[in-house]
Amino acid sequence: MFSLKGKVAIITGSDRGIGEGIATVFAKAGASIVVCSPSKERCEEEVAKLKKLGAKAIAIACDVSKEEDVQKLVAQTVKEFGKLDIMVNNAGVLLSKPLDEVEQKDLNWQLGINLNGVLLGTKHAAKQMKKQKNGGCIINTASIAALVGYSMLSTYCASKGGIAAFTRAASAELAPYKIRVNAICPGLIESEMTKPMLADPKSREEFLKAIPLRIVGQPEDIGHGALYLASDEARYVSGISLVIDGGETATT
């Protein structure tokens, strides 16, 4: 159950945080993993960890906001493993800034990685999956910020809301090719991105008050959700945004 044996998965932004958690869970489920981020060194370090779990894994440096990089990412994956079954568009960045101080360069950075990266990853993964003619699975990492507005995070919310909307449209368009497209909306997850917010005990306690389960999620919590969506057991699931947030949005 929930096996990915024989499957090949690209996971962007998988050298740390949520992406690393997804890569770890996928590796344990038997998938061959392509670890990618702009840092080849960090990717190689993650690959070494995955190989200790018995997984086949390679590292590829990639800036998901650049189409040429994404094209090469898919091409190198197919050259190494012969196919692509699962594309996880996970790479993302967080900008916290007052709305009236947001500059064009901020928008270019935030939307370029978070939103364009998902669009480009889906585009080139779908091209390859169509060629293979046996379907495929695309998973996009959104956020509960796609569902709830947060002060100081206007551009982040915009990018994640765009991912959720794009996921629905892409799922409808790619369904005739048996390519499933889903999103995951994580809540508060312990990672390098959230480390500054969670470092102070008082601040951490304030965040926990908004989470009914009173725990901070771990990267592998998202990994387990992604594993279900990538598995054959989810063959009838497409176009959804799976919320994994300890119950936070249920009370918002």
Question: Does residue 252 have a pLDDT over 90?
Answer: no
Q: Over the stretch 169-179, which tens digit does the pLDDT of each residue have?
A: 999 999 999 99
Asked if residue 223 has pLDDT above 90, the reply is: yes
pLDDT band at 60 (very low <50, low <70, confident <90, very high): very high
Q: How much is the mean pLDDT over the chain?
A: 96
Residue 236 a catalytic site member = no
Question: Which segments of the chain does DSSP mark as H helices, in order?
Answer: 17-28, 40-52, 67-81, 104-111, 117-132, 154-174, 195-198, 201-209, 219-230
Portion of the chain with pLDDT greater than 70, in percent: 100
Q: Which residue has the higher pLDDT, 194 or 58?
A: 58
Position 1 pLDDT exceeds 80: no
How far apart are alpha carbons 144 and 157 in whole angstroms?
Answer: 9
Q: How far apart are CA 59 and CA 40, in angstroms?
A: 7
Catalytic residue (choose from 156, 177, 228, 236): 156
SS3 state of residue 242: strand
Task: Set out the domains of the chain in order of their start, with CATH numbers.
Answer: 8-251 (3.40.50.720)
- Express each pLDDT in 83-139 by its tens digit: 999 999 999 999 999 999 999 999 999 999 999 999 999 999 999 999 999 999 999
Q: What percent of the chain has pLDDT over 90?
A: 92
Q: Report long-range pairs for 75-82 (Cβ below 8 Å, ≥24 apart).
A: 76/34, 77/8, 77/10, 77/34, 78/128, 80/34, 81/8, 81/32, 81/34, 81/56, 82/8
